[in-house]
Amino acid sequence: MSAEIIDGKALAATFRGQIADEVNQFKTQTNVVPHLTAVLVGDDPASAVYVRNKQRSCEKAGIQSTLQRLPAETSEAELISIVESLNTDSGVHGILVQLPLPKQINETAILDVVNPLKDVDAFHPENVGLIVQGRPRYLPCTPYGIQQMILSTKMETAGKHAVILGRSEIVGKPMAMLLIQRGQGADATVTICHSRTQNLNEIVKTADIIIAAIGKPEFVTADMVKPGAVVIDVGINRVNDRLVGDVDFEGVKKVASAITPVPGGVGPMTIAMLLKNTLTAAGIQSG
């Protein structure tokens, strides 16, 4: 058996097309241009690439995009003051502070001051709380994109065992919340595994859905995967100038029923969902 390859690039292109149409309609109805401001602190090359991709996608979808680039030595107080001025700028609907931040800045302290209505990453505790309670305002872009990819496979998720590798605030934890919700593409039984999990391989072997988000190159191998499982690879690791995921793609695709590639899998979907959240943010603030 060879798995269906879930083409994130193609799926994201479809979403971006739909969002561009919705942005157009929104502009006609409201005379408002949705506007995302990204804040990039320091000169991490990977972050610079991610932010550039986000900006380019915004522009293609008719969303205004601004970048605030700050030096690596920016202090926490300076960054808070910049976020606060974006909070009160009625021309900015979405604020994205690219992570990771330099060491001298406490990420939580920054994410806590982003106006929750402009928090298109859904990292603010108010937005996290709303997700946990099953009444989300925004969904975090990567789990949101993964949910759409799972829906695209038309697989039955109700009662299925989803195993998430990684307990991050950005992917692992919110992904678990989305998968245990009631409804389509959800209703799963969820296990989160992490660096202290015992018998991790045995647990993963029982998964109908595997979400790998631990940042370890090709960690999930074919012998850990139940035949027919759906495998979502969130990892982006650079190994000898090659990009690989957290899943051994060549091995696992022979066992899984569906699998996402790296690159061209989850990454493009994350950006598409950011556009969607920015349009939602503009709607909330113009309503």
The residue with tokens 């190159």 is 217
Q: How far is the CB of 110 from ligand GUN (least distance, A)?
A: 10
Q: How far is the CB of 274 from ligand GUN (least distance, A)?
A: 8
Task: Give the ranges where the chain is alpha helix by DSSP (H).
Answer: 8-30, 45-60, 76-87, 107-111, 125-132, 141-152, 172-180, 200-205, 249-252, 266-286
Q: Is 89 a catalytic residue?
A: no
Give the nearer residue to ligand GUN in terms of CB position, either 48 or 180: 48
SS3 181: coil
Distance of CA 112 to the CA centre of its chain: 19
Q: 5, 32, 67, 99: which one contacts ligand GUN (CB under 6 A)?
A: 99
Residue from 55, 118, 121, 253 carrying the catalytic annotation: 121
SS3 207: coil
Closest residue by Cα to residue 148 from 270, 280, 233 = 270
Residue nearest to ligand GUN (CB): 99
Q: 119, 121, 208, 248: which one contacts ligand GUN (CB under 6 A)?
A: 121
Segment near ligand GUN (CB under 6 A); pick from 70-78, 91-99, 180-188, 211-219: 91-99
166 is in an annotated binding site: yes
Q: List binders of ligand GUN among 190-229 (CB under 6 A).
A: none
| Other beta carbons within 10 Å of 158 | 12
Cα→Cα distances 209→55, 120, 150, 227, 255, Å: 32, 27, 9, 11, 13
Q: How far is the CB of 174 from ligand GUN (least distance, A)?
A: 10
The residue with tokens 């804040």 is 39
Answer yes or no whether residue 48 interacts with ligand GUN by CB under 6 A: no
Q: 37, 55, 127, 142: which one contacts ligand GUN (CB under 6 A)?
A: 142
168 is in an annotated binding site: yes
Q: Is 226 a catalytic residue?
A: no
Q: How far is the CB of 120 from ligand GUN (least distance, A)?
A: 9
Cβ-based burial of 240 (10 A; exposed 0-12, middle 13-18, buried ≥19)? exposed
Give the nearer residue to ligand GUN in terms of CB position, either 97 or 200: 97
- Active site residues per annotation: 54, 98, 121
Binding residues for NADP(+): 166-168, 236
| Residues of this chain that bind ligand GUN (CB under 6 A) | 96-99, 121, 141-142, 170
